[in-house]
Structure 1
């Protein structure tokens, strides 16, 4: 299964470690991390996944694959800016939202449009998101609902 992990590009140390733990658990369970390929939650989730031997895909807003964070195995350059958010969501079977601002909120909305199960951890409170307390809970939820 592919799990899209979405969240803020500017994060606290706590959020950074939460995202890394989430990516690690996703990989340990045999799933692939899909993200926006840049920093913050995206980089941390990929770092965690790589530490567990997992695979990562970064769907970039820019037209340069070299812009991907160092933990992305497969960078996909789009040149679409925030328009790439739909591709991040569509390329996952489920979504885990961690923290985030407006860009994350747009991805949450697209997740609902594309009928992806969404687990949230310290993110926006929106109908349709399963609020979770731990990275383990988020992964268990998306596995159950996908």
Structure 2
């Protein structure tokens, strides 16, 4: 199972801590972790997963080998800018969103469009014009719940 973890390249300590723990728990669950391979949430999830001996694939928007975060097992250099988000999501059986940025919102939208389950941990909550939640995103209270939900969804 391959689970993508998406989040902003600039994040606070809380989001970084959540991402690290999500990475560790995904690795312990035997999931391959997919991420953008950069800073912030991406670096934290890669560090957590690699610390637990997990497999971590970074899907980069560029071809800059110097911009790659530590903790990746392999890197896919797309040189496609934000279009790489489609590749990242197309490769995922489930997505965990940690925090939020515009790039993260695009990944969430691509996942929902494709029918990939999305678990949000402190991330986007999408509402319709009447203020009602748009279905398809499950909210998690903490990293353990986010991973449990994503692993369950990825297995179905």
Query: Normalising by the residue count of structure 1, what TM-score does the alignment of the two structures yield?
Result: 0.96
Aligned to 1:108: 108
Secondary structure in 1 aligned to 2:97? strand
Aligned positions of 1:92-107 closer than 5 A: 92-107=92-107
Kindly indicate whether the alpha-carbon contact (under 8 Å) linking 1:5 and 1:34 is maintained by their aligned counterparts in 2.
yes
Aligned to 1:46: 46
Q: Deviations over 1:76-131 (max 9, x none)?
A: 10111111011111111100000021000000000011111110000010221100
Structure 2 regions of 5+ residues with no counterpart? 127-133
The answer as to 2:146 corresponding to 1:138 is yes
Structure 1 regions of 5+ residues with no counterpart? none
Kindly indicate whether the alpha-carbon contact (under 8 Å) linking 1:23 and 1:46 is maintained by their aligned counterparts in 2.
yes
Q: Between Structure 1 and Structure 2, how many residues are aligned?
A: 146
CA distance in 2, matches of 1:88, 1:100: 17
CA distance in 2, matches of 1:53, 1:144: 21
CA distance in 2, matches of 1:52, 1:13: 20
Query: Normalising by the residue count of structure 2, what TM-score does the alignment of the two structures yield?
Result: 0.90
The answer as to 2:9 corresponding to 1:3 is no
Aligned to 2:131: none
The answer as to 2:85 corresponding to 1:85 is yes
- Runs of 4 or more above 6 Å deviation: none
Structure number with bigger Rg: 2
The answer as to 2:23 corresponding to 1:23 is yes
Secondary structure in 2 aligned to 1:95? strand
